[in-house]
Amino acid sequence: MKSALCNRFFILLPWILIVIIMLDVDPRRPAPQLTSRPYFSPHTVGCGGSRVPLRRSSPGRDAAEKRNESRPQLQPEPRLPTIYAITPTYSRPVQKAELTRLANTFRQVAQLHWILVEDRATRSELVSSFLARAGLPNTHLHVPTPRRYKRPWLPRATEQRNAGLAWLRQRHQHQSAQPGVLFFADDDNTYSLELFQEMRTTRKVSVWPVGLVGGRRYERPLVKNGKVVGWYTGWREDRPFAIDMAGFAVSLQVILSNPKAVFKRRGSQPGMQESDFLKQITTVDELEPKANNCTKVLVWHTRTEKVNLANEPKYHMDTVNIEV
Amino acid sequence: MKLKLKNVFLAYFLVSIAGLLYALVQLGQPCDCLPPLRAAAEQLRQKDLRISQLQADLRRPPPAPAQPPEPEALPTIYVITPTYARLVQKAELVRLSQTLSLVPRLHWLLVEDAESPTPLVSGLLAASGLLFTHLAVLTPKAQRLREGEPGWVRPRGVEQRNKALDWLRGKGGAVGGEKDSPPPGTQGVVYFADDDNTYSRELFKEMRWTRGVSVWPVGLVGGLRFEGPRVQDGRVVGFHTAWEPNRPFPLDMAGFAVSLPLLLAKPNAQFDATAPRGHLESSLLSHLVDPKDLEPRAANCTQVLVWHTRTEKPKMKQEEQLQRQGQGSDPAIEVRALLMRPCRP
Domain residue ranges of chain A, discontinuous segments joined by +? 82-207+245-291
Q: Give the per-residue pLDDT at A3.
A: 79
Hey, which residues does B317 pair with through a beta bridge? none
**pLDDT value at residue A6:** 83
**Tell me: the pLDDT tens digits for B212-268?**
999 999 999 888 999 999 999 999 999 998 888 888 999 999 999 999 999 999 999
CB-based contact (8 Å) between B12 and chain A? yes
Mean pLDDT of chain B: 84
Q: Write down the pLDDT at residue A215.
A: 84
User: What distance in Å separates the CA atoms of residue B149 and residue B344, rounded to the nearest whole number?
Assistant: 11
- Among the residue ranges A76-90, B24-38, B116-130, the one predicted with the least confidence is B24-38
| pLDDT-based confidence at residue B332 (cuts at 50, 70, 90) | low
Instruction: Give the C-alpha separation, A296 to B332, whole Å.
Output: 9
pLDDT in tens, A119-172: 999 999 999 999 999 999 999 999 999 998 888 888 889 999 999 999 999 998
Mean pLDDT confidence for A276-303: 93
Of the partner residues B224, B312, B334, the one whose CB lies closest to the CB of residue A311: B224
Judge whether residue A227 has pLDDT over 70.
Answer: yes
Q: Which pLDDT does position B35 carry in this prediction?
A: 66
Task: Spell out the alpha helix ranges (H) of B172-211.
Answer: 201-207
Asked if residue A188 belongs to a known ligand binding site, the reply is yes
Q: Which residue has the higher pLDDT, A117 or A236?
A: A117
Helix or strand run (H / E) with residue B16: helix B5-26
The whole-number average pLDDT for the span B299-325 is: 85
CA distance B186 to B191: 15
Residue A7 backbone zone (phi > 0: left; psi -120 to 50: alpha; other: beta)? alpha
Window 44-83 of B: residues touching A by CB (8 A cutoff) are: 45-46, 48-49, 52, 55-56, 71-72, 74
Report CB contact under 8 Å: B49, A104.
no
**pLDDT on residue A69:** 36
What band does A66 get if pLDDT is binned at 50, 70 and 90? very low
Residue-wise pLDDT for B153-192, tens only, equals: 677 889 999 999 999 998 888 888 888 889 888 899 999 9
Class of domain A82-207+245-291: alpha beta
Which candidate in A274, A286, A288, A323 is catalytic? A274
Query: Is it the case that residue A284 has pLDDT exceeding 70?
Result: yes
- Counting Cβ atoms within 10 Å, is residue B62 exposed (0-12), middle (13-18) or buried (19+)? exposed
**Residue A322 touches chain B, beta carbons under 8 Å:** yes
Output A22 or A228, whichever has higher pLDDT.
A228
Cα separation values, A258 from A250, A254, B344, Å = 11, 6, 48
Position A38 scores a pLDDT of 41
Averaged over A27-35, what is the pLDDT? 41
Mean pLDDT (whole number) for B197-221: 94
Of A72 and A150, the structure prediction assigns the larger pLDDT to A150
pLDDT at A198 exceeding the cut of 90:
yes
A323 is catalytic: no
CA distance readout (Å), A122 to B31, B43, B47, B160: 15, 12, 16, 46
pLDDT band of residue B304 (cuts 50, 70, 90) is very high
pLDDT at B334: 65
Q: How many CB pairs under 8 A join A and B?
A: 197
- Work out the minimum CA distance from A219 to partner chain B, whole angstroms: 10
Confidence tier at A76 by pLDDT (50, 70, 90): very low
A309 contacts B224? CB cut-off 8 A: yes
Query: One-letter amino acid identity for B129?
Result: G
* Longest distance between any two alpha carbons in chain A, whole Å: 111
Enumerate the H helices of chain A as residue ranges. Answer: 2-25, 62-70, 95-106, 125-134, 158-171, 193-200, 252-257, 273-279, 291-294
Q: How many CB atoms lie within 10 A of CB A283?
A: 13
Looking at residue B275, what is its pLDDT?
86
Q: Please calculate the CA angle B106-A198-A44 and round it to the nearest 5 degrees.
A: 75
Q: How confident is the model at residue A214, as a pLDDT?
A: 83
